[in-house]
Chains A and B, each alone.
Chain A
Amino acid sequence: MDFTVALAQIKPKLGCLADNLAVMEAAVARGIEEKAGLVLFPELALTGYFLKDLVPEVALSLDSPEIARLKELSRHIAIAVGFVEVSPDYRFFNAALYLEGGDIRHLHRKVYLPTYGLFDEQRYLAQGERFRAFDTRFGRMGLLVCEDIWHLSAPYILAMDGATTLLCLSSSPGRGLSAEESLGSTAAWQKLTATTAMFLNCRVLYCNRVGYEDGVNFWGGSEVVDPSGAVIARGRTFEEDFVLAVIDEGALRRERIFSPMMRDENLFITMKELRRIERERDC
């Protein structure tokens, strides 16, 4: 079905759950007003990104009042949001929820925690262990958190699992200044979202944050990419924005007729070869 998506390109305050929740409530209200069916927030939108030792202090269990509030809001508009989840056995995850109709439809725990360069996620966070597509009122979707989408297998698995819409929540630090028009990180991401959409005949809904934390900028540029890889809406760079786009079901149908790569994708060959590689690696 056709629906309107909103990308809430916000500027979370580091470690301030109540403030960030208030910003989200305002964005949700705006989404409802604009008749959007789904609103996306960035990775760790409830908490901010460079949390370090704050992780346990800002972590929420799935039965926390904050999550209950977001569930409540999702009666009016579906919500995808990033936060820190604490599990009953006290592991802390960089997690994302897809909420709809007052319920949690899907929980994704970030699998690929970058720990290199300016990143240090594995020091503070536990690794997620699955990629699963899930059904929503807008069709089957997959949910990824930032670095996840840099691993080809992640969106591939979700697409093979039937997802036709990939949601990617991000807190991407801007870096790599050169003579080019964009920062290196911006250019790389734009290439990545378009290529992922094109390879997998999926829409990619990318929501990135803005603002600065300890001198690191987050560049924004949230985008809606159609299944051909064409960008149909893009947020401003470095500034807060609220990106609205109409998702056209027909565009997905037509793309899958023109370029039926996913139809032809051979799961049997892929599995056979991956099993062989796994076997050979063991020796």
Chain B
Amino acid sequence: MDSRVNTKLLRKVLVGFIREEVEKVGLRKGVLGLSGGIDSALVAFLAAEALGPENVYACIMPYRTSNPESEAHALLVAEQLGLNYRVIEITSMVDAYFELFPEADQMRRGNKMARERMTVLYDHSAAFSALVLGTSNKTELLLGYGTLYGDMASALNPIGDIYKSHVWQLSQEMGVPEVVIRKKPSADLWAGQTDEQELGFTYREVDELLYHMVDLRFSRAELVAKGFAPAFIDLIYGKVQNSHFKRRLPVIAKVSNRTIDRDFRYSRDWGK
């Protein structure tokens, strides 16, 4: 992978994307969930530049087990940029549900939290006439390391075609606080959790592989020749394949001559 990218050019394209795609639908505002992590911090910076900080609504949505540092970092970003922000704790909503299902495991609870946050964002979207900005990067989207209809849900995603390695670079360029850039990425579902520990490899390693596999379309033999371990290649290929459903609309059973998205095809910017 080009270990460095032209971040000034990238910034220009992404800021233009947010501004134009928001204005196209007749709106001026964006809303996003600020987790305290780097991805949402970067999107907040991009959105503030595109729309003006007064037009960006940040929801900071901790759960009782969230690391308090996360909220502190989210507040740091929101205050540095001068965003409209609000802390909305999701503990009561999530816990009320799991009182019915006390046996629920960590994964179910994590997904529920992600989807609870999504409903808050979409409610704010309606309340403030603001589009929901997605904060999933390309690495996460390809690995399926996100919750369907949870953190993966958005109207516009400015960073969905950018690997984590480049998220770090662009964040430097945009002036995201160093403390946010430097900390270990975490889904923050429980104390001490980190992405790289949970995934079993580093973002740098997997980005390098995904770039060759997906972007450059190297064959398996070419990837092996390039020095990637066969087991690692197969593991990642499997993750991409098995999470593909998360990147698609629900499957519709075809019976008519024109089925939505199969032979009824329009751009989303139709008429915009």
Contacts and interface: CB of A to CB of B under 8 A. Distances in A.
Interface of A: 13-16, 48, 50-54, 174, 177-183, 211-215, 217, 238
19 contacts: A14-B270, A14-B271, A14-B272, A15-B271, A48-B269, A50-B269, A52-B267, A177-B6, A177-B13, A178-B6, A179-B2, A179-B6, A180-B6, A211-B20, A212-B21, A213-B269, A214-B267, A214-B269, A238-B13
Interface string B10-50: 10110011001100100000000000000000000000000
Given A13-B271, A15-B271, A177-B10, A212 B5 contact: no
A240 to B, nearest CB: 11
Given A13-B271, A50-B267, A213-B269, A177 B5 contact: yes
A17 to B, nearest CB: 11
Given A217-B17, A238-B13, 10 more contacts: A48-B269, A50-B269, A52-B267, A53-B265, A54-B267, A54-B270, A177-B5, A179-B2, A212-B17, A238-B16
A51 B271 CA distance: 10
Interface string B253-272: 00000000000111111111
B4 interface: yes
B6 A212 contact: no
Interface string B104-141: 00000000000000000000000000000000000000
A174 B267 CA distance: 17
B20 A212 contact: yes
B231 interface: no
A124 B145 CA distance: 36
B9 interface: yes
A211 B23 CA distance: 12
A183 B6 CA distance: 9
Contacts of A174: 13
Nearest to B156: A215
A174 B270 CA distance: 20
A211 B267 CA distance: 14
Contacts of B12: 238
A120 B106 CA distance: 43
Interface in B40-94: none
A177 B9 contact: yes
Q: Which 3 A-B pairs have the closest CB atoms?
A: A52-B265, A50-B267, A179-B4
A50 B268 CA distance: 10
A180 to B, nearest CB: 6
Interface in B188-245: none
Interface in B164-188: none
Contacts of A14: 267, 269-272
Contacts of B2: 178-179
Most buried by A among B9, B265, B268, B271: B9
Contacts of B272: 13-14
Contacts of A217: 13, 16-17
Nearest to B161: A215
A179 B5 contact: yes
Most buried by B among A15, A174, A177: A177
Contacts of A179: 2, 4-6
Nearest to B265: A52
B16 A181 contact: no
A213 B6 contact: no
A215 B20 CA distance: 9
